[in-house]
Structures are given as structure tokens and as C-alpha cells.
Amino acid sequence: MNWRQPTFALPLLIGLLSASGLLSALLGDGGWDAMAWIGLGVPTVLGCWPLLRRR
């Protein structure tokens, strides 16, 4: 089975990543902020990528 096949596996992972990003910046600066940028950066890139890709 393809790793992209299970309907909710990757969305769940992305959701958890987003949530940890949203929370980590509340806890501190520096490394915590960087974690937030990664956590929110991944869904942002995934959302933009199909729009920017040429047909």
C-alpha cells in the first residue's frame, strides 16, 4: 500500500504538527519559536505547493 493512501494518516500527522507548533511558541522564545515555525510551516508549505505548481 502506498504511504499516501490511508485517508487520515498524513492529515493526522500534519494536525499534530500544527498543534504542537501553535502551543510551543506559548511556552517560550528561541527554540520554542523555531518549533512553532516548523510546526506551522509544514501545513503552510503543503497548502501552497499545489497552487504554485504548474499544471
Binding site for another protein (CB under 8 A): 2, 4-5, 7-11, 14-15, 18-19, 22, 25-29, 32-33, 36-37, 40-41, 43-44, 46-48, 50-51, 55
Give dist(CA 15, CA 20) in Å, integer. 9
CB of 33 to another protein, least distance (A): 5
Reading phi first (left if > 0) and then psi (alpha if -120 to 50, else beta), residue 31 is in: alpha
